Amino acid sequence: MLLLAHRGASADAPENTLEAFAEAVRQGADGVELDAMLCGSGEVVVCHDERLERLARLPWEVRLTPWWKLQRADVGSPLGFAPARIPLLEEVLEALPPQFLVNIELKCERADDGGLAEQVARLVRRRGLAGRVVISSFNPLCLFRLAAAAPELRRGLLIDPDKSWALQAYGVSPLVSSHSVHPFHEACTPERVAAWRAAGMSVAAWTVDDPQRAHVLERMGVSYLITNRPGAVRQALHPAA
């Protein structure tokens, strides 16, 4: 089971920042999970929230704010860390070690993603990263577009725990997932994980910081564990490592 640092090592550094991804490397994660969206000037930025009230105490909407302005936002101090800024996806991919797995979540709740899936596909292709990138989204339309733009890239549906499990897991996921399924960890059972694995799907469970739960999921056969604390979870799972 590989450990992916959720928005970087976000328990110990400001989420989705270069600092958080560097901390994930330091803690011995196998890769990172991050959020990608378009900003107002068209660049792909790494940020989770559509608006910056929580992250920067600013009323800015990311999709309407140009990159030059977003660089002024401090997304570290409001979370209790040192000042930090929102990075471009390309900056993050450049900074990560060559062996790192990268789970890119496409963040778009609208029917029209504004070209997000296509831009991410072009970037991954241009950098030659298809072999170590998995692209996920709660929005199946994003994954449809990704499949059309770059069918070779690995795709996985994120399953929303607040929506119909059966519809997402057995109706939508087989249509858009080529590599993995991404359920909330509490939705994982031995039977479900075994069925996915038998169908050739990897399972990426989110978000797990409790070592006991991590042990249970590892025994189930979960492929990727997404955690805010990769160092602590790795130490709990494999103390001698």
Cα→Cα distances 8→55, 126, 134, 221, Å:
15, 23, 15, 23
pLDDT of 238 strictly over 90: no
pLDDT in tens, 129-184: 999 999 999 999 999 999 999 999 999 999 999 999 999 999 999 999 999 999 99
pLDDT in tens, 170-226: 999 999 999 999 999 999 999 999 999 999 999 999 999 999 999 999 999 999 999
Tell whether 82 is covered by a domain: no
pLDDT in tens, 17-71: 999 999 999 999 999 999 999 999 999 999 999 999 999 999 999 999 999 999 9
Instruction: Tell me the residue range of the domain where 232 lies.
Output: 2-50+89-237
Give the model's pLDDT for residue 188.
97
Q: Beta-strand (E) ranges in the chain?
A: 2-6, 31-38, 44-46, 101-106, 133-137, 154-158, 180-182, 202-205, 224-227
Tell whether 104 is covered by a domain: yes
Q: Distance (Å, rounded) from C-alpha 52 to C-alpha 173?
A: 31
Tell whether 62 is covered by a domain: no
Name the residue among 198, 29, 187 with its Cα closest to residue 97: 29
Tell whether 146 is covered by a domain: yes
Q: The tokens of 234 are what?
A: 């790795």
Torsion angle (degrees, nearest 10) of CA 222, 12, 63, 71: -140
Tell whether 169 is covered by a domain: yes
Give the model's pLDDT for residue 155.
98
Q: What single-letter amino acid sits at 182?
A: H
> What are the φ and ψ backbone dihedral angles of 214, each rounded to 5 degrees?
-60, -40
pLDDT in tens, 93-125: 999 999 999 999 999 999 999 999 999 999 999
Tell whether 228 is covered by a domain: yes
Tell whether 100 is covered by a domain: yes
pLDDT of 241 strictly over 60: no
pTM of the model: 0.97
Which CATH number characterizes residue 129's domain?
3.20.20.190
Number of domains comprising the chain = 1
pLDDT of 81 strictly over 90: yes
Tell whether 20 is covered by a domain: yes
What is the per-residue DSSP string for 13-42?
A: S-TTSHHHHHHHHHTT-SEEEEEEEE-TTS
